[in-house]
Chains A and B, each alone.
Chain A
């Protein structure tokens, strides 16, 4: 396939189609709307289901219903719309259904604004709804990675019967970059053996998140936790740059990681031993890899387009073995490399990290 110039929102939509998306239900909201708009045109062309629902509450419950029927299904929204979806997201998680939800983050809280922001980190890694669970959350940093992780999101959703969140921000949704789309998937799997698709000639199946007996609900929850533990063991992903000899490790995801990468390169050019750790799975957070780096790195700096959310996971991973600093911009204010470089210099001064020679390594995705 040739490289094409693709907008993040549209690239995710087309990648979902090529991964075998059967049905999409959504409601417009900036900065996500092109995703829905694109599918409104493409899904009927392919005789697949597209519904612009009357609200986000309706859309997520349509997702719930189609997932029960064993269909490959997706929705997308941004902060305020995602908040409206929370009840449905929790039901989907409780009923152990595969579904992919794209959150193109904007500034909050409340109606906030439509500028790019990373303020939904807590919401989309801790639970995405009421109850005792976590979704699986993927955070691409480029349009190409958004395409690749969209395919992975469906795989993971179906493998684990899980709610999978693709978390990007308005910048990645709106920007265009060259990227390569995969071919259409062939042999998209048949209706799964748990789906409710008409019980004629076979025993009834029930999909529910309702367990009235506390003991039964505890058993159900323990099973969910067991699944989450397996996912946490197997699915941690991150990318690293200059980690091998870094005294200070910058931790950033998504768009913020792109900005941080420029700052890290600039710091390296000045002879500072700085590296970049970019979580690709936010839930499960790449604890193992970061914990492994903690004894050697002298300090960590979390860089986010929010007031400091992922930094809590960094602190959990580092577990007090090194100082963890934070730099962020709030409310959708553009964060640029020069200010992150100053934050790096400040963090190195504060934590008395000395510099040594730089060894250049290529960034690569690791698991």
Chain B
């Protein structure tokens, strides 16, 4: 198994957190994994992205030119990464904020209304979990339960937020009933 993806959004949208969660879950499931953040003079409202690679073999470069999957949480991320998705790959974009439809041929395009789903759950801030949930349905590299366990095991500093995050993951997971890739 090998999968690489980029999760991109604006600072504060939780792109790095979503990637870290996936990395923890991949580690717990026994895979090799790398999580590489964008770093630099960036802050809330700036751009933030991370590259996650999950593999059953040792991982060389932690960065990729043409990711198999991109999860774009906002319009600038969609604009930046739409052309970069590998042919045959998957682009999941946050249709609540994208403001346009992507047009790229030869990849699978899936709009997920991340902010709207998160608002339904009760807190717009968990849009990153809704988007990650949708990714796991479309590209089931790990079972959703593994992600939920990892959230509880490694990242739940405040218990009351755990249920909210898990609900958002599940809501995103349920939006599309069939897997369409991989």
In the assembled complex, which residues on chain A have CB atoms less than 8 Å from the CB atom of B36?
A: 171, 174-176
20 A-B interface contacts by CB (under 8 A): A5-B23, A5-B27, A5-B33, A5-B35, A30-B39, A114-B39, A114-B41, A171-B63, A174-B36, A174-B39, A175-B37, A176-B20, A176-B35, A177-B59, A178-B27, A258-B61, A261-B61, A262-B61, A334-B63, A337-B60
* Count: A-B pairs, CB below 8 Å: 61
B77 contacts chain A at the CB level, 8 A cutoff: no
* Chain B contact residue count (CB 8 A cutoff): 21
From A30, A174, A176, A334, B23 is in contact (CB under 8 Å) with A176
Whole-angstrom CA separation of A115 from B24 in the bound complex: 25
Nearest-neighbour CB distance to chain A for B26, whole angstroms, equals: 9
* Chain A contact residue count (CB 8 A cutoff): 23
Whole-angstrom CA separation of A115 from B36 in the bound complex: 13
Instruction: List A residues 177-217 near B (Cβ within 8 Å).
Output: 177-178
B154 contacts chain A at the CB level, 8 A cutoff: yes
Give the interface of A toward B (CB within 8 A). 3, 5, 30-31, 114-115, 170-171, 174-178, 258-262, 265, 334, 336-338
- With A5-B27, A176-B34 already in contact, the answer to whether A31 and B39 are too (CB < 8 A) is yes
Q: Is the CB of B60 within 8 A of A178?
A: no
B182 contacts chain A at the CB level, 8 A cutoff: no
In the assembled complex, which residues on chain A have CB atoms less than 8 Å from the CB atom of B35?
A: 5, 175-177
B43 contacts chain A at the CB level, 8 A cutoff: no
From B20, B61, B62, A5 is in contact (CB under 8 Å) with B20
Q: Is the CB of B60 within 8 A of A177?
A: no
B80 contacts chain A at the CB level, 8 A cutoff: no
Q: Is the CB of A338 within 8 A of B65?
A: yes
Whole-angstrom CA separation of A304 from B80 in the bound complex: 27
**What are the 8 tightest A-B residue pairs by CB atom distance, in nearest-first order?**
A262-B60, A261-B60, A176-B35, A259-B61, A178-B27, A258-B60, A175-B36, A336-B65
Which chain B residue lies CB-closest to A336? B65
